[in-house]
Amino acid sequence: MKINGINVVFVYVSDMDASRRFYEEKLGLGKPELDTPKWIEWKLGKGANFAIHRASHEMLEGLVPARSSVRFSLMVEDIREAYTTLFEKGVRVLSEPMDGAGFLYFEFQDPDMNVIRLIQFIKK
């Protein structure tokens, strides 16, 4: 068996309307590719999609997303512009852009406190 790539990364959310507004308006994902009452999915390019999935109260009970070991990153072309844009839109950013090994990154939280990383690879 060979894994060919990532189909979709998704997060469980408690409020579909609030999360949809956050990802469409603050993160700028725009119109979704798929839109149902329990699942909204956006095409991000390069073969990967991102989605939000309505979670039940039981599913979220006791969950602390900020401490979850699951993380993912979304690529941007200009990390400093992304940081400024999200900060100005009132998004809870957790740090200023930092240097990694060949990339710049910062993390922020969505309305359910899921931690998401934005990353810009540095061209050599």
**Per-residue CA distances from 85 to 20, 108, 114, 116, 123 (Å):** 18, 12, 19, 15, 22
- Contact indicator for 61, 67 with CB cutoff of 8 Å: no
pLDDT tens, position by position, 27-66: 999 999 999 999 999 998 877 889 988 887 777 777 776 6
Nearest to 89 by CA among 118, 109, 104: 109
Q: What is the predicted pLDDT for the residue at 63?
A: 72
Res. 22: pLDDT tops 90: yes
In what helix (H) or strand (E) does residue 79 lie, and over which residues does it extend?
Answer: helix 79-88
Distance in angstroms (rounded) separating the CA atoms of residues 115 and 1: 31
Q: What is the pLDDT of residues 63-120, one digit of tens each?
A: 776 667 677 888 899 999 999 999 999 999 999 999 988 899 999 999 988 889 999 9
CATH 3.10.180.10 fits 8-121, yes or no: yes
Q: What SS3 class is residue 17?
A: helix
pLDDT, position 71: 75
